Amino acid sequence: MGKYVEDAKELLRLVGGRENIAAVSHCMTRMRFVLGDPGKADVKAIEDMKAVKGSFTQSGQFQVIIGNTVADFYNDFVKIAGIEGVSKEEVKQAAKKNQTFLQRMIAALAEIFAPLIPAIITGGLILGFRNCIDSLYLFENGTKTLCDISQFWSGIDSFLWLIGEAVFHMLPVGICWSVTKKMGTTQMLGIVLGLTLVSGQLLNAYAVAGTAAADIPKWNFGGFQVNMIGYQGQVLPAILAAFTLVYLEKFFRKITPQVISMIVVPFCSLLLSVMAAHFVLGPVGWKIGAWISAVVFAGITGPFKILFGAVFGVIYAPLVITGLHHMSNAIDLQLIADFGGTMLWPMIALSNIAQGSAVLGMSWLQKNDQKAQEINIPSCISCYLGVTEPAIFGVNLKKGFPFICGMIGSGIAAAVCVAMGVTANAIGVGGIPGILSIKPQFMVGFAICMVIALAVPFLLTVIVGKKSLKKECVQEAEQKNEEKNLEQKKLKNEDKKTVTAFLSGKVIPLKEVGDGVFSEGIMGDGFAILPETETLYSPVDAEITVLMEDSRHACGLRLDNGMEILLHIGIDTVSMNGDGFAYLVQEGEKVCAGTPLIRFDRKKIKEAGHPDVTVCIITEQGNAENVHFYTGIQAEANKTIVAEFQ
């Protein structure tokens, strides 16, 4: 038996049962669910589980944070649930049913940039290091850089540009490859398409602004001419060109006979997409990208720039929750291409720091809570290094006020950042290391903003937290007193046993069942439930004594006190010969209250012309006394008490 069997059983129940799971997989730290009805998941109870560090819903997936042991948890879960796990890609496809068009578009953009992030981070670190050695005037009374006084460091600076240029100037190659990879078409064609956008035969995109229109090289086709312009560092032209290639390849695959597809499909797809990229899509994408970056740049540098910065700083963390923050990558890269730097990225790095500082405040407040510290400390470190999700979902959103304190601190730091004109050369390096991506002349200004992002959320969280946590302590004390009173009451009635609802639905007396045998109590006293769900659970701890192997519509249970119970699904359903019914237990098996016993199909029962009312009959009372049924109520399976006895 696995280590997490009991936790897996509890999580299965809290997500709404097996029938509510459309798909499930896991990643490095999280269980990823696609739920049929997300509203059935008891989020609060799930987050209260000891094995769970937090939960959130994103891109149509309900994600439960388990931690580094998620693989073991997942294995136990799929065994308990009796379902097959699927790949993350299949979960994403299933989750799309729960997404709007905008969410699907954002998810697609995120999936395009996700494989590029390691290269972008590396490029950002290299450019940051080059900033330190070739642009910081720290020597000979502030007149020379390290490269000016050392041939070795000058050579290092020149050599490192080889990687920096490959990452940022050749970005369209990576984008075209990533799009074809995501869409399942030929990745090599995507690489070739990307190379045609940054070819050395073309005028470099960074040189276009300084080149007179008459001096721009052209392809002359006699009747018309096309500018020979490269798209180094451009995002939108590469995305448009890549998707054109993808759909052309899919089109030609569909219409081309298999015997010649190896020749026709790649040739026609690549040729037409390259023509479309340079004749139409490139110029159009360039204009659209330039317009977007110009609008953002105007907001950052215009008369309301401080307000713009404050608003962006405040809303960035909420954007992370929705997934919309992925759009900023494309905008940042476009700003770098058009203006030689971006003012958005410094604010993003500051938002990372601010959320981390809010967690640091919680860590200080909860310094004596070892369990909380196990989540607080790793989340804080992660934030300071640029990854905010563990902090946001695992700590700050749980209490609420730390998240808001982080937003406020981020907004103040971002307003100061914009006021100082802080600009980054590159993106990808977030949190405290983000200072390496800042242009040297703005590093001091960014350091000041970092101090604000560190101090303000921490202080606000501590101040607000003292009052909030004190109130929680009072509420916890009151709750403990209430629990103590309930426990005392329970001790007084320790001989009283309960029967929980075996289905969700309305509980009715036997006389309303509409069957002569059951309604008249011929087989024994009891009650019934008009089902709203399709899994029958054991209402008590008992042993399985009777199973109807042919019809599978009923189950007999025996308790330790000799009481015997019959659970019978539907009226006259024995005539269905088991169609629509499936046993989940075996005869002689000992089960606990809440164990799934039978899965049944209400639709098939209705089509067969039978009522699906499910009865519970006490066929033998044994040593039980004072049996009392609670009818006329709405019951929830495994939770609502529907009968008691001593």
Q: Report which residue type is found at 229.
A: I
Q: Where are the beta strands (DSSP E) in 54-160?
A: 54-58, 61-65
Q: What pLDDT sits at residue 551?
A: 86
Mean pLDDT of all residues in 252-278: 93
- For the ranges 35-39, 444-448, 454-458, which has the lowest average pLDDT? 35-39
Any residues with CB less than 8 A from the CB of 566 and at least 6 apart, and which? Answer: 523, 524, 546, 554, 555, 556, 557, 615, 616, 617, 619
pLDDT tens digits, one per residue of 409-427: 999 999 999 999 999 887 7
Do 95 and 17 belong to one domain?
yes
Q: What pLDDT sits at residue 460?
A: 93
Answer yes or no: is 144 within a domain: no
Do 562 and 439 belong to one domain?
no
pLDDT band at residue 338 using 50, 70 and 90 as cut-offs: confident
CB atoms within 10 A of CB 354: 34
pLDDT tens digits, one per residue of 235-249: 888 999 999 999 999
Q: Report which residue type is found at 194.
A: G
pLDDT tens digits, one per residue of 103-161: 566 666 667 777 777 787 787 778 778 878 887 788 888 888 899 999 999 999 899 88
Of 99, 123, 155, which one is at a domain's C-terminal end?
Answer: 99
Residues facing 506 on adjacent strands: 530, 634
Category of 53 on φ-ψ map: left (φ > 0), alpha (ψ -120 to 50) or beta:
alpha
Q: What pLDDT sits at residue 508?
A: 92
pLDDT at residue 391 tops 90: no
Do 408 and 509 belong to one domain?
no
Higher pLDDT, 91 or 11: 11
Answer yes or no: is 599 within a domain: yes
CB 604 within 8 A of CB 576: yes
Do 461 and 512 belong to one domain?
no
* Chain center to CA of 386: 17
Query: Sign of the C-alpha dihedral, residues 634, 636, 642, 644?
Result: negative
| DSSP run (H or E) holding 397 | helix 397-399
Do 541 and 448 belong to one domain?
no
Do 327 and 404 belong to one domain?
yes
Higher pLDDT, 395 or 257: 257
Do 452 and 336 belong to one domain?
yes
Of 66, 84, 99, which one is at a domain's C-terminal end?
Answer: 99
Do 407 and 506 belong to one domain?
no
| Strand 590-591 relative to strand 542-547, pairing | antiparallel
- For the ranges 56-60, 274-278, 584-588, which has the lowest average pLDDT? 56-60
Q: Comparing C-alpha atoms, which of 98, 8, 101, 17 is closest to residue 59?
A: 98
Q: What pLDDT sits at residue 87?
A: 46
What percent of the chain has a predicted confidence (pLDDT) above 70?
Answer: 88
Of 99, 125, 142, which one is at a domain's C-terminal end?
Answer: 99
Query: What torsion, rounded to 10 degrees, do the Cα atoms 449, 450, 452, 454 define?
Result: 170
State the Cα–Cα distance between residues 99 and 60, nearest whole angstrom: 5
Q: Comparing C-alpha atoms, which of 415, 456, 413 is closest to residue 435?
A: 413
Q: Report which residue type is found at 306.
A: I
Do 501 and 468 belong to one domain?
no
Answer yes or no: is 68 within a domain: yes
| Strand 61-65 relative to strand 225-227, pairing | unpaired
State the Cα–Cα distance between residues 607 and 611, nearest whole angstrom: 10
Answer yes or no: is 530 within a domain: yes
pLDDT at residue 494 tops 70: no
- What HEC string does 327-392 produce? HHHHHHHHHHHHHCCECHHHHHHHHHHHHHHHHHHHHHHCCCCHHHHHHHHHHHHHHHCCCCHHHH
Q: What pLDDT sits at residue 167?
A: 82
Q: What pLDDT sits at residue 115?
A: 79
Question: Domain residues for 554?
Answer: 497-645
Do 445 and 510 belong to one domain?
no
Q: What pLDDT sits at residue 190?
A: 94
Q: What pLDDT sits at residue 500?
A: 92
Q: What pLDDT sits at residue 505?
A: 93
Answer yes or no: is 66 within a domain: yes
Largest CA distance in the chain: 105
- What HEC string does 133-189 produce? HHCCCCECCCCECHHHHCHHHHHHHHHHHHHHHHHHCCHHHHHHHHHHHHHCCCHHH
Which span out of 33-47, 473-487, 628-642 was modeled with the highest average pLDDT? 628-642
pLDDT at residue 389 tops 80: no
SS3 568: strand
Do 408 and 448 belong to one domain?
yes
Number of domains in the chain: 3
What percent of the chain has a predicted confidence (pLDDT) above 90?
Answer: 31
pLDDT at residue 558 tops 50: yes
203: tokens are 């005028």
Residues facing 438 on adjacent strands: 424
CATH number, domain of 529, equals 2.70.70.10
Q: What pLDDT sits at residue 58?
A: 67
CB 33 within 8 A of CB 15: yes
Catalytic residue set? 27
639: tokens are 């939770």
pLDDT tens digits, one per residue of 211-231: 888 889 999 998 889 999 998
Do 391 and 513 belong to one domain?
no
CATH number, domain of 21, equals 3.30.1360.60
Answer yes or no: is 263 within a domain: no
CB 237 within 8 A of CB 208: no
Q: Comparing C-alpha atoms, which of 402, 386, 27, 367 is closest to residue 377?
A: 367
State the Cα–Cα distance between residues 580 and 606, nearest whole angstrom: 11
| Strand 61-65 relative to strand 526-531, pairing | unpaired
pLDDT at residue 95 tops 50: no
- What HEC string does 145-159 produce? CHHHHCHHHHHHHHH
Q: Comparing C-alpha atoms, which of 476, 465, 450 is closest to residue 364?
A: 465
Answer yes or no: is 206 within a domain: no
pLDDT band at residue 257 using 50, 70 and 90 as cut-offs: very high
Q: What pLDDT sits at residue 548?
A: 83
Residue matched to tokens 């940042």: 332
Answer yes or no: is 443 within a domain: yes
- 352, with CB counted inside 10 A (0-12, 13-18, 19+), is buried
- For the ranges 259-273, 355-369, 408-422, which has the lowest average pLDDT? 355-369
Q: What pLDDT sits at residue 292?
A: 80
